[in-house]
Amino acid sequence: MRAYLPDYSFHRAKTLTEAFSQLEAGAKPFAGGTDIMVLLDAGALPPDNYFDILAIKELQGIRSTKKALSLGALTTYSEIRNHKLIQSNFPILCASAREVGAIAIQNRGTIGGNIANSSPAADLPPGLLVYEAQINLISKRGLRTLDYTKFHLGYKKNELQKDELIHSITLKPEFQKHHHFWRKVGSRRSQAISKTMIAALAKVNRKRIEDIRIALGSVAPTAVRCLEVETFLKGKILSPSTILEAKKILSRDLHPIDDIRSTGKYRLIVSQNMLEEFLCGIG
């Protein structure tokens, strides 16, 4: 059953001031609309007032300094995957943006929308976790910044307040000497919602792991860092026995969910296999 359009109100905000006025009136923002249009077409979008923020210049663009890279909330997946500095400093984000839907979705969908939707199967969050991103939220009260690890609170829940918009994501380019790894497993090779995914970084010196970050998506209500596995591996020289123990620790660190796309048991086994693939690649 399709939605009945007269039940909805759609507007466009061209400035932050207009957007804040819409938020005060109780309207709900959207950007690329790639999620909202699916719900609308299926008749599953609740009737309400909605407003488009895609024209707001303050939320657009990728800006770089010597110390940081800032991705505006309206940065599209295509802009991410094609940006030279992101390719060289944050290749996991390029790889994950390349996995989002079809080219038409990548041209329209935004990093802010991917984050705000707070789906555990979203492709970008695991990479943002291992890169230790910061998220900047804006309202009439000003700008506030959070570590990305603190933004997602649960399934479809996050720290975004009713009067706030996502302004940008800040990344520090300090991972040039790290090995970067991304893998997504779905029901098909392209345009798939993930069963599980992994983003991982490691810096190795003389075969010893100096720094390591591992995050998994689509296995819990939010994307998660595998902190117990990271703690075990840091300082270790990789060997078959070390990798085997890391996989065992992951089984204790991770409690995958069952849902319509997969079982928790399958997700755990595949996540362990992806962890092994990552570790074998840096050893």
194 and 276 co-located in one domain: yes
Does a structural domain hold residue 124?
yes
73 Cβ contact partners less than 8 Å away, ≥ 6 residues apart: 31, 59, 110, 111, 112, 115, 165, 166, 167, 168, 169
Residue at 178 is within a domain: no
Picking from 37, 30, 24, 215, the residue whose alpha carbon sits closest to that of residue 117 is: 30
Secondary structure class of 268 (helix, strand, coil):
helix
Q: What is the CATH number of the domain that holds 200?
A: 3.30.390.50
Whether residue 187 is predicted with pLDDT greater than 70 in this model: the reply is: no
Is 52 a domain residue?
Answer: no
Predicted TM-score (pTM) above 0.75:
yes
Q: How confident is the model at residue 138 (pLDDT cuts 50, 70, 90)?
A: very high
Check residue 189 and report its DSSP letter: S
Q: Considering the domain boundaries, does residue 132 fall inside one?
A: yes
Spatial separation of the C-alpha atoms in residues 135 and 6, rounded to whole Å: 36
- Amino acid letter, residue 72: G
What are the φ/ψ torsions at residue 170 (nearest 5 degrees)?
Answer: -110, 130
Q: What is the pLDDT of residues 216-245, one digit of tens each?
A: 999 989 999 999 999 999 999 999 999 999
Q: Which domain holds residue 64?
A: 58-171
Least-confidence region, from 60-64, 88-92, 161-165, 259-263:
259-263
Number of domains, the chain: 3
Residue 269: inside a domain, yes or no?
A: yes
The answer to whether position 68 is within a domain reads: yes
Q: Residue 166, SS3? A: strand
Q: 64-119: per-residue pLDDT in tens?
A: 988 999 999 999 999 999 999 999 999 999 999 998 878 888 999 999 999 999 99
Q: Is 66 helix (H, G, I), strand (E, B) or coil?
A: coil
Average pLDDT, the chain: 92
Q: Helices H, strands E: what count in the chain?
A: 11, 14
Q: What CATH number has the domain bearing residue 71?
A: 3.30.465.10
% of the chain exceeding 70 in pLDDT:
97
Provide the angle, in degrees to the nearest 10, between the axes of the packed helices 264-282 and 240-253: 150
**CA dihedral sign, ordered 24, 27, 28, 31:** negative
